Homo-oligomer: A and B are copies of this chain.
Amino acid sequence: MEKKEQQFVREITNMEDDFAQWYTDIITKADLVDYSPVKGFMVIKPYGYALWESIQNFADRRFKETGHKNCYFPLLIPESLLMKEAEHVEGFAPEVAWVTHAGREKLQERLVIRPTSETIICEMYKKWLNSYRDLPYLYNQWCSVVRWEKTTRPFLRTSEFLWQEGHTLHETYEEAEVETLQMLDIYAEVAEDLMAIPVVKGKKSVRERFAGAEDTYTIEALMHDGKALQCGTSHFLAQHFTKAFNIEFQNRNGGKSHPYHTSWGISTRLIGGLIMVHSDNRGLVLPPKMAPTQVRIIPIQQHKEGVLDKVYEIKELLEKEFRVDIDAAKEKSPGFKFNEAEMLGIPVRLELGPRDIENGKVVLVRRDTLEKEEVSFDKLYERIAELMVQIQKDMFDRAKASRIERTSTAYNMEEFKKALDTKPGFIRAMHCEDEDCEAEIKAETAATIRCFPFEDTEVISDKCVCCGKPAKKLAYFAKAY
């Protein structure tokens, strides 16, 4: 029996041995995702989709609270539209899927499956917009997009993924900039408040910004293996697209102006980040706010009188406030159920057998720390409420402490490379903002500028870490997914 009970844990590769395999084991054994018959396309299974719904609910509420409305634009974009903004087409054309036929007929113009919707949305905005009175346009859509990828990994990089894309128009440069940063703040809330993932907010380098953007802002998180993950981006598009698409409005002086434009998106990629920030060698670890099941009750010796009655009584008590389920399957042993609850990352497991009932107590086990405690029936509700808050906070604090611990500072490339080798993570270093210099760093070390952070603007030197030319800004570098 011991052997079978350990099967989940045994089946997971240790992350220290093979991080990529550990990740694959977690996502498949925790039943989040499966590979589809089309290479690079994933199936998101119910447990994985529930995590996406949690992200959607949180983000959608915040979008609406800040005045945004949802809408829906077509899946297919004519080739001629995609071609209108020069940088944009260069960025996306190599990775789009082409629809060439419908039924038995060849199409007159080829269509692409949207890789992102700036072009089709701008075409519509051009048609709709008349006056400054109509502005701002604050619209968002939830949909899937397709970007053909050669090497893929579920959630992190797939040829189709689910996301939301916000597309806004504003009367002034300043308003659009405020919007861009507001949405970045909301993304940081999604990551930090909901998912317990600490992020570094900042601006992308010219080399890493969105194809067609004036500026791209990002939230970056550090994974268990010391690589960074870009978790969400907000683009200040200025008038790049609105000029290319000739979107105009009557301004307050009676003349014509091009509006200022933003776009911003988060995707199912966040779920990959959730796994790589919190999970361990026993399986998923979910923050209570996101967990589809927050408390799982596992009866011990459930055939004995009174056990199942008590278990249902406790469920009824707890489910007023928490997401609770019971694992009363007869064909599985308690040990197997413990492992399964751990594999699924359920924040608290509640064990209850005949002796516990006699003593008026239950056993609680935290998933994040595996700490056990006994709690009397009369304190149970209150204790669960405390644990939900505590686990959420502790997960965030641990991830943040780990990020800080793995953030190094480098004044030259020798230090830079040594830090990457000995303590993979973020490297704080000055950079000259030259694209070629950044490319050289990547070629030498595989690390890129993740961002110029907002909250860490220390000028640690006046020279670029790589080329030695004058440098004004501190950058965070890392290898990245």
Main secondary structure of the interface of A (DSSP, over half): mixed
What is the CA–CA distance of A175 and B98 in the complex, to the nearest angstrom? 42
Given A69-B50, A98-B102, A74 and B133 touching (CB < 8 A)?
A: no
23 contacts between A and B (CB under 8 A): A36-B120, A37-B81, A38-B74, A38-B77, A41-B76, A43-B71, A43-B72, A43-B74, A43-B124, A44-B71, A45-B71, A46-B71, A46-B139, A48-B71, A50-B69, A52-B72, A53-B70, A72-B162, A74-B160, A93-B103, A98-B100, A99-B99, A99-B113
Q: Which of B48, B49, B53, B102 contacts A148 (CB 8 A)?
A: B102
User: What residues of chain B lie closer than 8 Å to A77, measured between beta carbons?
Assistant: 38
User: What residues of chain B lie closer than 8 Å to A460, measured between beta carbons?
Assistant: none
User: What residues of chain B lie closer than 8 Å to A144, measured between beta carbons?
Assistant: 72, 75, 143
Decide if B70 touches A46 in the complex (CB within 8 Å): yes
What is the CA–CA distance of A37 and B113 in the complex, to the nearest angstrom? 14
Q: Which of B50, B72, B113, B146 contacts A49 (CB 8 A)?
A: B72
Decide if A38 touches B69 in the complex (CB within 8 Å): no
Near B by CB (< 8 A), chain A positions 446-478 give none
User: What residues of chain B lie closer than 8 Å to A42, measured between beta carbons?
Assistant: 74
Beta-carbon nearest neighbor of A268 in chain B? B72
Q: Does A399 contact B (CB under 8 A)?
A: no
User: What residues of chain B lie closer than 8 Å to A133, measured between beta carbons?
Assistant: 331
What is the CA–CA distance of A56 and B43 in the complex, to the nearest angstrom? 21
Q: Does A111 contact B (CB under 8 A)?
A: yes
User: What residues of chain B lie closer than 8 Å to A37, measured between beta carbons?
Assistant: 78, 81, 120, 123
What is the CA–CA distance of A308 and B34 in the complex, to the nearest angstrom? 57
User: What residues of chain B lie closer than 8 Å to A410, measured between beta carbons?
Assistant: none
The distance from the CB of A43 to the nearest CB of chain B, in whole angstroms, is 5
What is the CA–CA distance of A98 and B99 in the complex, to the nearest angstrom? 5
Q: Does A252 contact B (CB under 8 A)?
A: no
The distance from the CB of A242 to the nearest CB of chain B, in whole angstroms, is 17
User: What residues of chain B lie closer than 8 Å to A52, measured between beta carbons?
Assistant: 72
Contact residues of A with B, CB < 8 Å? 34, 36-38, 41-46, 48-50, 52-53, 69-78, 81, 93-104, 111, 113, 120, 123-124, 127-128, 133, 139, 143-144, 146, 148, 159-160, 162, 331
User: What residues of chain B lie closer than 8 Å to A45, measured between beta carbons?
Assistant: 71
User: What residues of chain B lie closer than 8 Å to A159, measured between beta carbons?
Assistant: 102
Decide if B95 touches A69 in the complex (CB within 8 Å): no
Decide if B100 touches A96 in the complex (CB within 8 Å): no
What is the CA–CA distance of A170 and B343 in the complex, to the nearest angstrom? 27
Beta-carbon nearest neighbor of A161 in chain B? B72
Decide if B111 touches A113 in the complex (CB within 8 Å): no
Q: Which of B34, B71, B104 contacts A124 (CB 8 A)?
A: B34
Beta-carbon nearest neighbor of A102 in chain B? B148
Number of copies: 2
Given A101-B100, A144-B143, A73 and B43 touching (CB < 8 A)?
A: yes
What is the CA–CA distance of A28 and B254 in the complex, to the nearest angstrom? 27
What is the CA–CA distance of A133 and B332 in the complex, to the nearest angstrom? 12
The residue in A93, A100, A133 that gathers the most chain B C-beta atoms within 10 A of its C-beta is A100
What is the CA–CA distance of A41 and B41 in the complex, to the nearest angstrom? 24
What is the CA–CA distance of A159 and B127 in the complex, to the nearest angstrom? 21
User: What residues of chain B lie closer than 8 Å to A111, measured between beta carbons?
Assistant: 38, 97
When A and B form their complex, which 8 residue pairs have the shortest distance between CB atoms, in order from nearest?
Answer: A46-B69, A41-B74, A102-B148, A98-B101, A44-B72, A49-B71, A100-B100, A94-B103
User: What residues of chain B lie closer than 8 Å to A41, measured between beta carbons?
Assistant: 74-76
User: What residues of chain B lie closer than 8 Å to A100, measured between beta carbons?
Assistant: 98-101
Decide if A78 touches B43 in the complex (CB within 8 Å): no
Q: Which of B49, B104, B113 contacts A94 (CB 8 A)?
A: B104
User: What residues of chain B lie closer than 8 Å to A146, measured between beta carbons?
Assistant: 75-76
The distance from the CB of A77 to the nearest CB of chain B, in whole angstroms, is 7
What is the CA–CA distance of A72 and B143 in the complex, to the nearest angstrom? 11
What is the CA–CA distance of A219 and B461 in the complex, to the nearest angstrom? 72
User: What residues of chain B lie closer than 8 Å to A162, measured between beta carbons?
Assistant: 72
Beta-carbon nearest neighbor of A105 in chain B? B148
Given A44-B71, A100-B100, A76 and B160 touching (CB < 8 A)?
A: yes
What is the CA–CA distance of A209 and B235 in the complex, to the nearest angstrom? 48
User: What residues of chain B lie closer than 8 Å to A50, measured between beta carbons?
Assistant: 69-70
The distance from the CB of A14 to the nearest CB of chain B, in whole angstroms, is 27
User: What residues of chain B lie closer than 8 Å to A120, measured between beta carbons?
Assistant: 36-37
What is the CA–CA distance of A44 and B94 in the complex, to the nearest angstrom? 29
| Beyond known contacts A45-B71, A99-B99: 7 more, CB 8 A cutoff | A36-B120, A37-B78, A48-B71, A75-B146, A94-B103, A95-B102, A98-B102
